[in-house]
Amino acid sequence: MATMTSLIGLINKIQRACTVLGDHGGEGLSLWEALPSVAVVGGQSSGKSSVLESVVGRDFLPRGSGIVTRRPLVLQLHKTDDGQQDYAEFLHAPRKRFTDFASVRQEISDETDRITGKSKQISNIPIQLSIYSPNVVNLTLIDLPGLTKVAVEGQSETIVQDIENMVRSYVEKPNCIILAISPANQDIATSDAIKIAKEVDPSGERTFGVLTKLDLMDKGTNAVEVLEGKHYRLMHPWVGIVNRSQADINKNVDMIIARKKEREYFETSPEYGHLAHKMGAEYLAKLLSEHLEVVIRQRIPSIIALINKTIDELNAELDRIGRPIAVDSGAQLYTILEMCRAFDKVFKEHIDGGRPGGDKIYGVFDHQLPSALKKLPFDRHLSLKNVQRVVTEADGYQPHLIAPEQGYRRLIEGCLSYFKGPAEASVDAVHLVLKELVRKAIAATEELKRFPTLKSEIAQAANDSLERFREESKKTVTRLVDMESSYLTAEFFRKIHLEQDTTNPGRNSSTPNPNLDNHTDNHLRKIGSNVNAYVNMICDTLKNSIPKAVVYCQVREAKRSLLNRFYVQVGKKEKEQLGAVLDEDPALMEKRSQLAKRLELYKQARDDIDSVAWK
């Protein structure tokens, strides 16, 4: 018996957890729907409230005309030791003990209005009430709005259908035990309760038939045949009940006295005497309690399976959105650095391969730079006319004697200055590639998704670094070009000179004829082609050294020290500033705390089941 007592207590606990979680069934995997429950259904004025009050032994339900019950009332009865005072508690007002049951009635009615408004609409959000008393058995009942045929004044036309839908949503669940209340002074064939029960439980295996108002039957008629299951057959026995009449209620007849009167009614009744031990509200309560125990015991394995499955899902979801971060500054700093590392890893994968994009840098060196170099306008610069102009200008009043030394220098310098364009363009092109890789890496770092502020700060820091690397790289490639102008390779020209002498053995180099030769086209062409050859040699050198400078200054640095300055800045931050950097998306935080709360309650439910079920 001890375990049986705690089994219903267990389900009560899980039911409360469900209400806290906002789980009233309906959507997805619902624990609420997996829990066995007893739903009380009946037409208006069938005696539903009276039966519930009689089972509890207390007046506590709102009365009145029209549709009084407009939200499901989950009534959890807890048996306490004899001599203890009765009291009630609502889940929506925890820690408030109601010992006056008139105020319980008021609270139910106020709480109903709180959700449905005074509009008299109905709502499927349950009110959860626990009653502790020595006069109850452990049992949970759900009181539902009475089935009705007509809407009363002030209520919308759809309410009749709405109520039926709500009642059906409860009783159609296979775990629902249906307590179908029908008045005896009405033809059982027209009972609203039996009608809906028949529809959802045709075999009658989870329906308990209750017949009220036996005392109000016409003289000379009785309900023995119904009670014996001859009119409508159910797997469980019918229970007859005699509640307080309206006159009794008006006279405030005590519930305990009413129970006694009910017992006497059956014991002394000529018709029902033989059924007396199986009649009355107290018997009904015991019967339901025992049956509920059996059903709960059967359901426990599937409830545990559902809880475990849900716990796994919640854990997976929490992992996906990230666990909460600690609040001390050490842990915050650690989290920030972890995020930076995660980003850096993705970024490096983009550069080194594994992730796309790094190959574009090679594209700059292999394609863009050579084709830009090829397009440089050396032809124009070394045209006959220009060579003549530069050389003449360099000579001044004194034409050169053997070779135009100054003219050569100026022509070469003029050509070399063209290299700055492609060199800087390579720097900019690689910069753009790196910037794009930062953008991609930021987006691809899962861990950063939850921290929008940190995300943008890392992106900013990375881009600032790239900007600095770009400046450094530009200075370096400009230097490479300037270095070429600052010192020419003398050997190259010596070689040319020698080659020319050997190819023209007829001409004696020791006896040049400058006056004749100096300004001939041939002479100028020669100068132009010599300069061109020299510049081509430099071009080959730069084609190789510019990529080296760019990789050294930009790519290598990006891999080595992209976030170095950021680390220093973060290291200097105070706790509040760190917190601000880790400020999460509020929607995400809310979601996490919801998930964590759910997880906690589900784990608690599992612990509770473990401690009860396998005793």
Ligand X SMILES: Nc1nc2c(ncn2[C@@H]2O[C@H](COP(=O)(O)OP(=O)(O)OP(=O)(O)O)[C@@H](O)[C@H]2O)c(=O)[nH]1
Judged by the rule CB under 6 A, the positions of this chain that interact with ligand X are 42, 44-50, 68-69, 146, 212-213, 215-216, 241-246, 249
Any idea which residue has 């200054």 for tokens?
553
Contact 339, 62 (CB under 8 A): no
Cβ-based nearer residue to ligand X, 23 or 262: 262
Tokens of 612: 């009860």
Cβ-based nearer residue to ligand X, 216 or 311: 216
Tokens of 240: 């007859």
Cβ-based nearer residue to ligand X, 223 or 373: 223
Half-sphere exposure of 462 (CA within 13 A, CB side): 27
Please state the closest distance from residue 68 (CB atom) to ligand X, in A: 5
Residues whose CB is less than 8 angstroms from the CB of residue 316 and which lie 6 or more positions away in sequence, other chains included:
none
How far is Cα 588 from Cα 36, in angstroms, rounded to an integer?
34
Please state the closest distance from residue 69 (CB atom) to ligand X, in A: 6
Q: Which amino acid is at 124?
A: N
Cβ-based nearer residue to ligand X, 139 or 364: 139
How far is Cα 61 from Cα 58, in angstroms, rounded to an integer?
9
The DSSP element (H or E) to which 604 belongs, if any, is: helix 586-613
Cβ-based nearer residue to ligand X, 210 or 288: 210
Please state the closest distance from residue 213 (CB atom) to ligand X, in A: 4
Please state the closest distance from residue 172 (CB atom) to ligand X, in A: 21
How far is Cα 166 from Cα 251, in angstroms, rounded to an integer?
34
Please state the closest distance from residue 587 (CB atom) to ligand X, in A: 43
How far is Cα 603 from Cα 601, in angstroms, rounded to an integer?
5
How far is Cα 108 from Cα 92, in angstroms, rounded to an integer?
11
Please state the closest distance from residue 97 (CB atom) to ligand X, in A: 26
Cβ-based nearer residue to ligand X, 249 or 318: 249
Cβ-based nearer residue to ligand X, 249 or 595: 249
- Do β-strands 93-98 and 87-90 pair in parallel, antiparallel, or remain unpaired? antiparallel
Cβ-based nearer residue to ligand X, 242 or 578: 242
How far is Cα 614 from Cα 601, in angstroms, rounded to an integer?
20
How far is Cα 171 from Cα 147, in angstroms, rounded to an integer?
13
Please state the closest distance from residue 313 (CB atom) to ligand X, in A: 40
Q: Hey, what's the torsion of the CAs at 98, 102, 106, 107, to 10 degrees? A: 20
Contact 345, 588 (CB under 8 A): no
Cβ-based nearer residue to ligand X, 251 or 309: 251
Q: Coil, strand or helix: which one is 173?
A: coil
Please state the closest distance from residue 280 (CB atom) to ligand X, in A: 11
How many helices (H) and strands (E) the chain has is answered by: 25, 9
Q: How far is CA 160 from the centre of its chain?
A: 38
Cβ-based nearer residue to ligand X, 18 or 196: 196
Please state the closest distance from residue 211 (CB atom) to ligand X, in A: 9
Instruction: Burial-class residue 433 by CB neighbours within 10 Å (0-12, 13-18, 19+).
Output: buried
Least Cα distance to 41 among 128, 170, 155, 130 occurs for 170
Q: Which amino acid is at 212?
A: T
Q: Coil, strand or helix: which one is 89?
A: strand
Please state the closest distance from residue 51 (CB atom) to ligand X, in A: 7
Please state the closest distance from residue 46 (CB atom) to ligand X, in A: 4
Cβ-based nearer residue to ligand X, 86 or 262: 262
Please state the closest distance from residue 236 (CB atom) to ligand X, in A: 20
Cβ-based nearer residue to ligand X, 244 or 348: 244
Backbone angles phi, psi at 508, to 5 degrees: -95, 115
Cβ-based nearer residue to ligand X, 268 or 509: 268
Least Cα distance to 140 among 287, 51, 38, 35 occurs for 38
How far is Cα 121 from Cα 145, in angstroms, rounded to an integer?
11
Please state the closest distance from residue 216 (CB atom) to ligand X, in A: 5
Cβ-based nearer residue to ligand X, 52 or 423: 52
Please state the closest distance from residue 245 (CB atom) to ligand X, in A: 3
Instruction: Burial-class residue 326 by CB neighbours within 10 Å (0-12, 13-18, 19+).
Output: exposed
Tokens of 97: 């003990």
Q: Hey, what's the torsion of the CAs at 318, 322, 323, 326, to 10 degrees? A: -160
The 10 Å CB-count burial string (b at 16+, else e) for 409-423 is: ebbbebbbebbeebb
Please state the closest distance from residue 47 (CB atom) to ligand X, in A: 3
Cβ-based nearer residue to ligand X, 245 or 577: 245
- SS3 of 141-164: EEECCCECCCCCCCCCCCHHHHHH
